[in-house]
Amino acid sequence: MPVTSSPVDHPAAALLAWYDRAGRDLPWRVKSGRAEPYRIWLSEIMLQQTTVEAVKPYFAKFLATWPDVTALALAEDQAVMTAWAGLGYYARARNLLACARAVARDFGGRFPETEEGLRALPGIGAYTAAAIAAIAFGERAIVIDGNIERVITRIAAIDTPLPKAKPEIRAVLEGMVPADRPGDFAQSLMDLGATICTPKSPSCLICPLAEACVARARGQATAFPVKPAKKGKKALQSLAFVVLDPQSRILLSTRPAKGLLAGMAEVPNTAWSAGPSGLQAAPLAADWQRLNQPVIHIFTHIDLRMEIAVARLSAVTPALEGMRWVDVGKLDSEPVPTLFRKVIEAGLRALG
């Protein structure tokens, strides 16, 4: 009788069998048949440095407002930035628009079907191009995200620190990715990392790749991946000014087109620096009151402490150059990022 191979002899087969049975149901995912490139691209851009649960409502909102890439390409910049507000990393929203317009203009509204072609589009890096190529077009692309890095470094016990370990991770994956279902294989690794091969408490007993995992065999699963020492963050401060006029309008401006929170709406605030700022930096003369409770906001490389000063004007005052008065009831139509939403909410509470 011929010898029958076990699933462990074929990690991809074992993983795909598990994925078919236990893979996550996600709004952009199709488990049978070819996924829609627009949905995969949109979800992958949104998921960069953001959790699945945070992305779901934004994905649904974007899909309802702009159901395909051509519709998104025709959208106004501010409408997209406003819809994105709160999701963070706002350069992604600007790249999203640039990419949609390039696809509509140069490719007739159809995404390129190869990893190389996708890589040439604005805002699509190596990972995103590979993910779209594999999931939407069935190309045997090597997809490597944070979850996949963790799974593969554990399976192969790769002790080279990240990100230097990427070539070794890619080499392992080269021998694993099946010619058929490469997109499902990539998603199965993502799901495995998200639900079983988790950072701190991996569920090795129910892992479909447990018998193939070197780190598990050594009892060292949580020792991988090896990461370099974290660099210290900058601690910066600023003073924000929340002011209302007699018509219940709040003073806003738009941040520069480049840099952190580029193009988003903000209340006037001082330069982000290492030292405190005083009320003399206020945008206009008023009876400013400094609040006791700052807003603390954590960026990737910055810990920001934003103090707040509030004032209520007794007379209608023209907006300063580069600023505008916005009805408080219409703030939802402005691209206000999470940081300044917190600041505005605190200021409005104080003003009653």
Instruction: Give me the active site residues, please.
Output: 44
CA distance 253 to 240: 12
| Dihedral (CA of 205, 211, 213, 216) sign | positive
From residue 26, how far is each of 39, 60, 93, 212 by CA, in Å? 11, 11, 21, 28
